[in-house]
Structure 1
């Protein structure tokens, strides 16, 4: 069974895609966009190692309350072996798959393993974050160059019309604060 290096998991969230989602932030990113909000995820030696089997088991323990999985980071496609196994298992179990990447769709299509990952993906959000093109008017993206690429019949552009950006704040029992989601919090 393959593994993924992960920075963090949110088991149920409504801020990282359609419906209630199991959300994984992978660890490691060589793209390193200027102005990135997740710089702590750049180091490929950080985070923790999880087997794909343990992730699928954890998803199944959510009691049927999740629609699908969202994987972002870091850079998910830099862990192609584990990512492929994860998305394939998710689709076999009926979950939808949303992936974020700093690579362009056209780049991914040129590599067989990455192209196979796309065959199990419902929505790909591609392109690097560009600080000079910062834009929070569309859900889940941070800059205007990033694109939604609908790769299955499950979701379409019309589904985005009712979606607004949201922030979710979680406080752990130990007092740690986590924020996820997207929005302009500087206003």
Structure 2
């Protein structure tokens, strides 16, 4: 039975790809991009291991609509066997859905550049199961910062070096308009949604999406002034 180091799964996600999506975040990443907002996913913690079948069962239990599945991390490609098994399962589930018109796309984020991912047979096989990937390390200085930045904002990407790469006809239909585009208008840029989870360790607040540089510190400052203490946060060393 193949297991996946899993950081989090959430539905609905509306900030990481088009439509209403299921989000899956893997646990474990050695890239350690400066300015990463998800430092809590860096450690490859064996205690976060779950069977791929469990994740697929969660997907199958979701209500409609599900327009796509977004897989991020952590670094998904650092678990190639588990990622491949997950993608095979998602594609089988998708093929079994009784849908006449609305297709479900698969989007995977990676901090590796696309040329590296497409170089070896194992990762090429994984790419063949994706409809689109967003690749490249997060570069903090290439994230347009500040509420009044004149640099515009990036759709579904954290920094301007990252590439949106459609890999299938469905991927080209849904992601082709933003593939290779460096900037988009302010109104269509990164957005953030909030998820509150109750767990054994107490209440945790997750911010899902891709904020601009400085947005999280701005949010923390405003919460502090309102008397809401954020405690430990994943975007600080």
Matches within 5 A, 1:79-158: 79-94=79-94, 95-135=104-144, 137-154=153-170, 155-158=174-177
In 1, distance between residues paired with 2:178 and 2:118?
25
Alignment of 1:168-183 (within 5 A): 168-173=193-198, 175-183=203-211
* Structure 1: runs of 5+ lacking an equivalent: none
Between structure 1 and structure 2, the one with the greater Rg is 2
Contact 1:27–1:44, Cα closer than 8 Å, also in 2: yes
* Number of equivalenced pairs: 187
TM superposition score normalised by structure 1: 0.90
Matched, 1:59 2:59: yes
CA RMSD in angstroms, aligned pairs only? 2.1
Gaps of 5+ in 2: 95-103, 145-151, 220-237
SS in 2 for 1:143: coil
Q: Secondary structure at the match of 1:15?
A: coil
Structure 2 match to 1:4: 4
Counterpart secondary structure, 2:11 = strand
CA distance in 1, matches of 2:25, 2:36: 14
User: By how many angstroms is 1:34 displaced?
Assistant: 1.1
Q: Hey, what's the Cα distance between the residues in 1 that align with 2:140 and 2:178?
A: 27
Instruction: Indicate conservation of the 8 Å contact 2:195/2:207, yes or no.
Output: yes
Cα distance between partner residues in 1 of 2:52 and 2:136: 26
Cα distance change of structure 1 residues 106 and 121 upon mapping to structure 2, 3 Å threshold: same
CA distance in 1, matches of 2:76, 2:54: 18
